[in-house]
Structure 1
C-alpha cells in the first residue's frame, strides 16, 4: 500500500508517512465550524483520509453506496447538508454508515501528532494568549464533531470526553538574532521556540524503537549541506547542563522535538539573543558525501568558532527519540571533555534519610546495566529509612575537578526511561506529565520531568560512586580498595546487552560511555586519572553493585544488593 502524498499548505501540513501535522495559526485561524467545513485544509485532509480508506476497504459490488468510497466533494457536501438540516442529506447513504465514517475520520485525525504554531514579534499581545487561542481551535473542532454526531444519532450524547480534538501541543515561535558566525547564515530565518504548551499524557509513535551504532566525527561542517527553510525546520534552544545548544529539527521529527521539553531546559530569549551557542544540532538533514555510515549521525568541531555541530540524517531509523537525546548529549560531552570535565554515563541521586543524613550516590554504567533498576530496588527495600530521593541526573552528568574540589552536575531536567523499569507508583504518579514513546512495544519509553535546571547545575558533592555490574553472578556491593583495579573496571565499561540497543551478548565500551569519551579517548584518559586520584585521596566510596540483570534477572537478588548498598550509605 503506497502512502499518500503529504498535504503542504501555508496554514496546514500533514505527512501520513510520519503521522505528523503542523498548523500555522498566523497563516490562517479558523473561527467557526462553517469556516472549517468550507476550508481547503479540511478538504485536503478528507482527501487524505479517503485515499487511505480506499486502500483498506475491500472491493464491493456497488461502490456508490459505500460512504468511505465517495469523492471528497460528495463527502464534504454530505457533511454540510447534515449541518444545515437538508432533507436529502441521507438520500443515498444510511445515517449509521455516515456516522461510522465520521468517527473514523475524527479518530484518524487524532492519530496524528498535531502541533499548532504561532509566530510573535517582541511584545506581541498573542504571547500571553497563545494557549487560549489554541484552546479555541480545539473547542471548535470538537464542537463540529459533536454537532455532526448528535444530528446523525438523533439525540445528545450522554457522556462527553474532553479530548485534545484540534491539537496535541502548541508552540509559540520567535525570530531572534544570535551571534551567528560566517557560514551559518542558512539558519538565520529559522524560528526559535519561545514557549511550548503540551497536552499530556502524550502517546507518540515512531517508525523506529531502538538506537544502533555510535556517532562519528566528520571532516566537513554539516552546515555546508544544510537545506532547511523556515517552513520545514524549527529550533529548540536548550540548556544542556551549562551548555547552550540550538537544536534544529525537521517538522517530520516533531515527536522528538516536542519530547525535548520534558528532557532539557528550554532557554529563554535573553539566553539566545546575541549569544553564540556551544552546540548546534541539525536533525533530519543530509550528511556530506565523505561521511561513512550515512544512516547514522555525525559531529564536527568548528574550531574557528568553538562550536560542536551535530548532524542526524532523515530516515526511518532516526525517528527513535534516542537519536535526538544521545546526539545532544554527545555534543555536550565533547564540549565537557574540551573543558577538562569528565562526562558520566549514569544516574545521580541525592538521598535524604530518616536520621537526618543526606548522601549522594552515582550509579554508573552503559545502557541496560541496571542503573534505574538499582534505584527502584533501593526505594523498595528502604521502607521508612529514606525520606526522599532527588534526581540530580538520570542519564548523563559530569564531574569537575576544580583545585582540590570534585563536584558533579547534571545535564537533563527530565528522565527518558523504559516503562518496564518504572514501578507502577512512579508510572501512575507521573502519567499526567509524561510523553510516552511507542507504549505498546518492546523498549517502550516515557519522558518525564525530574528536576529543575538550577538544581541540576549546582555543584554537588559525591559521597558514593558505584559501577552497575550486570554480568557477574554475585550479590551485594563491593568497595574497591585498589585505585587501579577500580579505574580499570570503570574504563572497561563491561556489560551484558539487554536489547536497548542493537548490541547482543557481552560488550565493552570505553568508560561505559559511547557518547563522547569513546570518540575522544586520548583526551578523556588524563581527566579520568585526575578524578580517580582525587576520589581515592578523599576516601570517597568507589565500588560496584551487582544488579544480576544479565543472568537470571532475579528481583530478590537485586533487592539484596540494594539492601547492602543502603547499609553502606548509612555507614558513611
Structure 2
C-alpha cells in the first residue's frame, strides 16, 4: 500500500509495513509460551498495525476494534470464556485470525541473537528459534481449533514465526580513524535460513551504472547499532564489509546464498578491501556511487535508501563493482560471465568461460549444452555464475578465479528441472513478477577461489543472425569483439535494443577503462600464445526464443570440446 502506516517498534519487535520486514530480538525478550506471546508489547503493536492495514475492516466488525479489545477476544477464546467473544461470531473471528496470521507471514521475519562469545548460544541458536516458531504456530492453532470446535486433520509445518535467524557479534577490526562511526555495528556471524524463501521487494529491476564520487560516503554515515548490521563477505579473495540498514534485511540475508560469510578470524584485526554502505539517507543525486579511499586502500560503495534499491541486483552489483575495481588495481581482469568445468564420458574434462553482458545467453548456452548432450556429459560444475577474474600466477600463466559461491538467476532462464531440483535451497525474489529471480548456492568457497585453467573462452553473441561457433583467427579480432561488448538488450536491466558496453562489464572495467586495457592486452596475448580456443557462440536470443538455433550452436560447441 502506498500509504502504509509508519514502522512500529518495541524493545524486542520491529516491523516496517513499507518494506515488509520484521525483526525480532531474542536478547531483549525471548518468548517461550503462548501467554507470554499474547501479552507481549510486540504482539500488541503488531495487532494494532494489522487493524490499521486490514482490508477486512470494512466488512468484518472484528476488525473495527481497538488492539486491546481484539487481544482480549483472543485471550477469552484461549480460556474458553465464550460469553466474552460469542457476540462477534466464531466465523467472523476465524476469518480475521486467518487474515492476521497471513498478514504476519507476509513480512520477511528475521530473529536476532547476539552471541557475546558464548558457545552455548552458538550451539543452541537454532533450537531457540525453532521454539519461537512452535509458540507462534501453537497460538494460531489453539485459537483456530477452539473456534471451529474440532482439531485439524491436516497440519502444515510452515515457518510461522521467522524466515531466518541470525547470530550477531561485535568484532574489533583494523579500523582507520575515519571509519569509527561503524564501530558499534555488529557483524552477522552465523545465519540460519528456512528455504524455500519467497521474498518480495518494491522494485524488480536495476537501473544505471555506478559512478565515482569525490567524497568518502563514510562522512554521511550516522547509523546506530539498532538500525544497522554488517554482512562480512569473502568476494573472491577480497574481504568486504557490507553494512545495511535493517529495512534491507531481505538483501542482507539473501547474500548468504551468494557469498561466503567471513569468519571471526578473517575479520579480527584485519582491514577490509571494500566497504559498502547500503541504505544511506542521502547520496549524491540519490543514486549509487563508489569512492576509492587511496590513503587507506579501501573501496567504499554507497547505496541510497529508497524503493528502487530494494531490488537485490543493487546489493549484488555494488558488491561486485567495488570488488572488480579492487581487482583492476591489482592487475587482474574482471570477467562478466560464467565458468563451468565439464566432465565428458570420453574421459576429457574442459573448463569453459562464457562471456557477455546481461541477457546475452551465457546461462542459456550452458543449459542448451546439457539438454543436447545425452550421456556424453557426466557432470557440469559451476565455478562462477556471473563474475570472476583472470589473473597471472608467479610463473606468468593465466588462471581464472570466481567471486560468488551462488547464482542469482532469472527464473525464466532456468529449465524446470534445475528450478525444481534446487527449490528447497533457493531464495526466491518476486516469483510472481516479470524478471523473477532465484539465488541458489552453486559451489564451495574453497573451490571457487582455486586457480582454474582456461581451455576455452567464448563470447555469447545474441545479436548476429548466424548459428554455431566461431573461432577468432587472431587476438586483434577477438579483442575487438570482447571489448565492444555488444548485445541486444532483453529487458533484464533498464536497457532495450542494441547496446555496447566496454568489455561487456559495466561493473568495474567501464569505470576504469584506461587501467583495464593493458590487462586485457596482456591476457589475450598470453591466451593466444598458449593456443587457447577464443571464439564466440551464436545464441540467437536477440532473434528468436526458440531453442532450435541455440541447440544447433550448442551441438557445435559440444563437438569442439569433445574432439579437440
TM-score bin, normalised by smaller chain: over 0.9
2:552 is matched with which residue?
Answer: 560
1:85 is matched with which residue?
Answer: 80
Determine the C-alpha separation between the residues in 2 that align with 1:439 and 1:514: 26
1:56 is displaced (CA, Å) by 5.8
2:288 is matched with which residue?
Answer: 297
Alignment of 1:408 with 2:400, yes or no, is yes
2:209 is matched with which residue?
Answer: 214
1:401 is displaced (CA, Å) by 2.1
Determine the C-alpha separation between the residues in 1 that align with 2:124 and 2:446: 27
Unaligned stretches of 5+ in structure 1?
Answer: none
2:464 is matched with which residue?
Answer: 472
Q: Deviation digits for residues 504-538 of structure 1, max 9, x if unmatched?
A: 10000000000000000000000000000001101
1:70 is displaced (CA, Å) by 1.1
Q: Deviation digits for residues 85-126 of structure 1, max 9, x if unmatched?
A: 113133420000000000000010000000000001123411
Residues 193, 351 of structure 1: CA spacing in aligned structure 2 closer, same or farther, 3 A cutoff?
same
Alignment of 1:98 with 2:93, yes or no, is yes
2:23 is matched with which residue?
Answer: 22
Unaligned stretches of 5+ in structure 2?
Answer: none
Give the conservation status (yes or no) of the 8 Å contact 1:214–1:296: no
1:242 is matched with which residue?
Answer: 237
Give the conservation status (yes or no) of the 8 Å contact 2:282–2:305: no
1:189 is matched with which residue?
Answer: 184
1:57 is displaced (CA, Å) by 3.9
Determine the C-alpha separation between the residues in 1 that align with 2:319 and 2:384: 15
Moved more, 83-92 or 202-211: 83-92
1:8 is displaced (CA, Å) by 1.5
1:146 is matched with which residue?
Answer: 141
Determine the C-alpha separation between the residues in 2 that align with 1:80 and 1:57: 20
Give the conservation status (yes or no) of the 8 Å contact 1:22–1:117: yes
2:357 is matched with which residue?
Answer: 366
Q: Of residues 499, 502, 507 in structure 1, which corresponds to 2:494?
A: 502
Question: Given the two structures, how large is their TM-score scaled by the length of structure 2?
Answer: 0.98
Alignment of 1:41 with 2:42, yes or no, is yes
Alignment of 1:310 with 2:305, yes or no, is no
Q: Deviation digits for residues 371-429 of structure 1, max 9, x if unmatched?
A: 01000000001110000011000000000023430100000000000001111111111
Report matched runs for 1:534-549 at 5 Å: 534-549=526-541
1:268 is matched with which residue?
Answer: 263
Q: Of residues 339, 343, 348 in structure 1, which corresponds to 2:339?
A: 348
Determine the C-alpha separation between the residues in 2 that align with 1:23 and 1:545: 50
2:6 is matched with which residue?
Answer: 5
1:395 is matched with which residue?
Answer: 386
Alignment of 1:69 with 2:70, yes or no, is no
Counterpart of 1:505 in 2: which secondary structure?
strand
Determine the C-alpha separation between the residues in 1 that align with 2:287 and 2:314: 9
Give the conservation status (yes or no) of the 8 Å contact 1:21–1:115: yes
1:331 is matched with which residue?
Answer: 322
Give the conservation status (yes or no) of the 8 Å contact 1:437–1:444: yes
2:158 is matched with which residue?
Answer: 163
Determine the C-alpha separation between the residues in 2 that align with 1:337 and 1:28: 47
Give the conservation status (yes or no) of the 8 Å contact 1:286–1:312: no
Determine the C-alpha separation between the residues in 1 that align with 2:165 and 2:84: 36
1:493 is matched with which residue?
Answer: 485
Determine the C-alpha separation between the residues in 2 that align with 1:395 and 1:374: 14
Determine the C-alpha separation between the residues in 2 that align with 1:148 and 1:286: 42
Counterpart of 1:471 in 2: which secondary structure?
coil
Q: Deviation digits for residues 27-66 of structure 1, max 9, x if unmatched?
A: 000111111111111111000000012x6644x6xxxx71
Q: Deviation digits for residues 297-324 of structure 1, max 9, x if unmatched?
A: 1000110110000000000001000000
RMSD: 1.0
Counterpart of 2:36 in 1: which secondary structure?
helix
Counterpart of 2:97 in 1: which secondary structure?
helix
Alignment of 1:174 with 2:169, yes or no, is yes
